[in-house]
Amino acid sequence: MKIAPAAVLALAVLVAACSDSAENAATSGAAAGQAGLAGSALPGGGQRGAARPGSQEDLAATVGDRVFFGTDSATIGADQRPTLQRQAQWLAQYRQVQVTVEGHADERGTREYNLALGQRRANAARDQLVTNGVAGSRIQTISYGKDRPAELGSDEQAWAQNRRAVTVVR
């Protein structure tokens, strides 16, 4: 019996999408920001195809859309630089794309302090993208401080996921 290559590919994508548990994805640090789905469910149980090239979904799935920071730090760690290098390469491929880098902080500290920290994080990520060849005119920055947590909770796991800069396609 012959199995259509498309059916085999669809099955492989489905199995891969279901292979990580939520706990593993949440604790994998930088990998959590790099995880993406090739398709997403549509009303009625259908699937749509792979992410449109040059889209936010494509960025997140292929190179990762976020980097993480240490407590009270806006320094890009050596383990986070490869993500920004891949983002710069992706942006070189899609020269028409402009992005906003969002800076975030965990819940500790005052709103004002965390807004300033989030801005320093966004600026640090932007500067690294520029160092890697992306024109600064293509990048805006904004800080949300602690106002938009990625993960709710008052423990180190939640705080680590919230100390981040996210690159968003405009």
- Chain centroid, CA 43 distance in Å: 25
Return d(Cα 128, Cα 26) in angstroms, integer. 25
- HSE-up of residue 110 (Cα within 13 Å, Cβ side): 3
Average pLDDT, the chain: 82
DSSP lists the bridge partners of residue 158 as none
Between CA 56 and CA 139, with CA 37 as vertex, the angle to 5 degrees is 15
Is the pLDDT at 144 greater than 50? The verdict is yes
Residues 103-115: tens digit of each pLDDT:
999 999 999 999 9
Pairing of strands 99-104, 164-169: antiparallel
Is the pLDDT at 85 greater than 80? The verdict is yes
Q: Is residue 61 within 8 Å of 90, Cβ to Cβ?
A: no
User: Residue 77 in 3-state DSSP?
Assistant: coil
The DSSP letter of residue 132 is T
Domains defined along the chain, listed by start: 5-169 (3.30.1330.60)
Q: What is the dihedral of CA 149, 150, 154, 160, to 10 degrees?
A: -110
Please tell me whether the overall predicted TM-score, pTM, comes out greater than 0.85 for this model. no
